């Protein structure tokens, strides 16, 4: 196999999906929840995170603020926690301690992350009402909250 063929194959395998499937995962209360039940009218931010991930912990408060500020504009935030089953009992109290009041779904085997070919933690997907991915943000460091906020505002202005 030539270099170009290998590069094309890797791009197809490692590139994130273009559209998020209408997956079903349990929420923090154990209720099976379809993505379509929690999608925003205009945009939805899907945050893939874990309790053991330092950058994830730092990013969540800004998402809580964003959810509170832009919910009335048709923007929803949904957390997808990827902790293993043995850490499951920690997820709900952890989310509450950070002020999370948006839906948190549990992907204990990271199946959705794998299906979407997501590699980094945290990964924030912004999808439109048709579940098309319109923005991806990987990782989190100081200042990224403004980058995400600016991108969401830009997407809302284009809508």
Q: Is residue 84 part of a domain?
A: yes
Helix/strand/coil (H/E/C) assignment for every residue in 28-75: CCCCEEEHHHHCCCCEEEEEEECCCCHHHHHHHHHHHHHHHHHHHHCE
Q: Is residue 58 part of a domain?
A: yes
Q: Is residue 52 part of a domain?
A: yes
- Would you place residue 31 in the very low, low, confident or very high pLDDT band (cuts 50, 70, 90)? very high
Closest among 110, 107, 145, 117 to 28, alpha carbons compared: 107
Helix/strand/coil (H/E/C) assignment for every residue in 108-134: CCCHHHHHCCCCCCCEEEEEECCCEEE
The total domain count for the chain is 1
Cα–Cα distance measured from residue 147 to residue 126, given in angstroms and rounded to the nearest whole number:
13
The pLDDT, as a whole number, for residue 2 is 53
| Cis peptide, bond prior to residue 79, ω within 30 of zero | no
Q: Is residue 90 part of a domain?
A: yes
Q: Is residue 56 part of a domain?
A: yes
Cα–Cα distance measured from residue 83 to residue 4, given in angstroms and rounded to the nearest whole number:
37
Cα–Cα distance measured from residue 67 to residue 76, given in angstroms and rounded to the nearest whole number:
6
Query: pLDDT higher for 13 or 35?
Result: 35
Q: What is the CATH number of the domain that holds 119?
A: 3.40.30.10
List pLDDT tens digits, range 48-106: 999 999 999 999 999 999 999 999 999 999 999 999 999 999 999 999 999 999 999 99
Q: Is residue 114 part of a domain?
A: yes
Q: Is residue 14 part of a domain?
A: no
Q: In this prediction, what percent of the chain has a pLDDT beyond 90?
A: 87
pLDDT for residue 145 is more than 50: yes
- Would you place residue 1 in the very low, low, confident or very high pLDDT band (cuts 50, 70, 90)? low
- Among 13-17, 24-28, 43-47, 148-152, which is the least confidently predicted range? 13-17
Q: Is residue 8 part of a domain?
A: no
Query: pLDDT higher for 134 or 16?
Result: 134
Q: Output phi, psi for 132, to 5 deg.
A: -80, 135
pTM: 0.88
Q: What residue numbers bound the domain in which 115 lies? A: 25-158
């Amino acid at each position: 196999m030539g270099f170009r063929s290998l590069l094309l194959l890797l791009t197809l395998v490692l590139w994130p999906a273009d559209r998020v499937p209408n997956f079903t995962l349990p929420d923090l209360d154990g209720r099976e929840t379809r993505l379509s039940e929690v999608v925003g009218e205009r945009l939805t931010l899907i945050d893939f995170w874990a309790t053991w991930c330092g950058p994830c912990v730092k990013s969540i408060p800004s998402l809580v603020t964003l959810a509170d500020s832009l919910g009335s504009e048709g923007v929803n935030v949904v957390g997808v926690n990827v902790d293993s089953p043995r850490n499951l009992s920690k997820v709900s109290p952890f989310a509450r301690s950070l002020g999370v009041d948006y839906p948190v779904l549990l992907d204990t085997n990271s199946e959705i992350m794998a299906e979407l070919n997501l590699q980094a933690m945290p990964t924030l997907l912004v999808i439109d009402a048709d579940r098309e991915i319109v923005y991806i943000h990987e990782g989190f460091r100081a200042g990224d909250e403004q980058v995400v906020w600016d991108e969401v505002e830009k997407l809302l202005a284009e809508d």
